[in-house]
Amino acid sequence: MNIKEIILSNQSDIIRGLSWSPDGKYLSVGGYDEILTVWDVEDEDEIFVYNELTGWITRSEWSSDSKYIACSSYQTGEIKILRSDNGEEILSISAHEKGCLCLKWMVNDTILASGGHDYKFKLWDVKSGKEIVKLNCPDQVNSIIEIPNSSNIFVSLPGFETVFFNPFNPETLNRAIVLKARTPIHHQYIVSPDGNFFICLLKWELMVVFDINTGEIVKEFICPNEKWESFSWSPDGKKLAAAGIDIYFYDTKNWDEIIRIKQPVLDDSFFSKIDYCLWTSDSSVIFTSARYTGIINAWDANTGEKIMTWESGESKKDYVIEDMAVHPTKKCIAFGDNKGNVFVLELV
């Protein structure tokens, strides 16, 4: 395979809030410079630049029809909903007192879910901007994870806490279940595609698969080298990838280890840990990265063979890969760094 590389750069600080439109045509890019840019990646053209939101823009989420983008401020807690073709502001919501950390479109894009520094999970009516649900959580809400074929969701909190509930059922709001479990920094496919199983950590070295319907643990995995950092179900549901320093692939029928990819251990093992394991939509390729090395690898998910390596060329002391997003249909990944640059790599 050959690698097609595109560099998009009009921002000046840490990149966050990377998100592909569901139709795969556009990429939204947020950052610490308080700018949201939407790119036509193929033509390398800016569709629009939005700078009317005060604070770091660390989240951007597309509606399922690709017509709207929700973005939020890490400092003020404000949420903006914009037209994706021209950046026109459709709705402004003062959502959280101490900053908004996560967003999720729900119920055919009629409801927007948000979580914040203020320990609150909320649901908003997109047409009116009115708050329709509020749940007090034990800590700040870092991410919202939908369960396929279900109204239930997980919200992850700092440390080893994850809350499980149905936000549309008042009874479950009153008795939301707090699991002593941790999820990875990127939440691609930590729930199985059929919605029956959930992957999480009970300890740094102990990864488990929960049956969501029964609450039982169906499989435990002890990390052979220190602790697990990232893990993800393949989109076809057939494999589970997990990484600490090395990368492991497991067959989800019998949980057997089918591939192990040994990684070099650097002098400081902190820099060796794999922070991202992200699948392409056809389950054939997985992209991995250790954030502080400035290195992206792509692996054949069927053989474990390395397809490509990308290196930043920057000093490892001051270079960080800050966010990553996989294209919805292509073998392609976008990632941003702490210098204001966005790179797009496509396997062709």
Which tens digit of pLDDT belongs to each residue from 280-337? 999 999 999 987 778 899 999 999 999 999 987 765 667 888 899 999 999 999 999 8
The strand pairing partners of 322, in sequence order, are none
Residue 55 CB neighbours (<10 A) = 16
11-180 with 184-311: one CATH topology?
Answer: yes
272, 261 contact by CB (below 8 A): no
Each residue's pLDDT, cut to its tens digit, for the chain (348 residues) gives 889 999 997 777 899 999 999 999 999 999 999 999 999 999 999 999 999 999 999 999 999 999 999 999 999 999 999 999 999 999 999 999 989 999 999 999 999 999 999 999 999 999 999 999 999 999 999 999 999 989 999 999 998 999 999 999 878 877 888 889 988 877 778 999 999 999 999 999 999 999 999 989 999 999 987 799 999 999 999 999 999 989 999 999 999 999 999 887 665 656 678 889 999 999 999 999 987 778 899 999 999 999 999 987 765 667 888 899 999 999 999 999 888 899 999 999
Which tens digit of pLDDT belongs to each residue from 97-133? 989 999 999 999 999 999 999 999 999 999 999 999 9
274, 227 contact by CB (below 8 A): no
Residues 6+ apart with CB under 8 A from 315: none
Domain 184-311 belongs in CATH node 1.20.120.10: no
Superfamily assignment of 11-180 in CATH? YVTN repeat-like/Quinoprotein amine dehydrogenase (2.130.10.10)
The CA-based dihedral angle spanning residues 321, 325, 326, 327, taken in that order and rounded to the nearest 10 degrees: -130
The strand pairing partners of 300, in sequence order, are 285
116, 98 contact by CB (below 8 A): yes
The ranges assigned to domains in the chain are: 11-180, 184-311
User: Which has the closest alpha carbon to 192: 283, 320, 62?
Assistant: 283
Q: What angle do CA 309, 286, 102 make, to 5 degrees?
A: 110
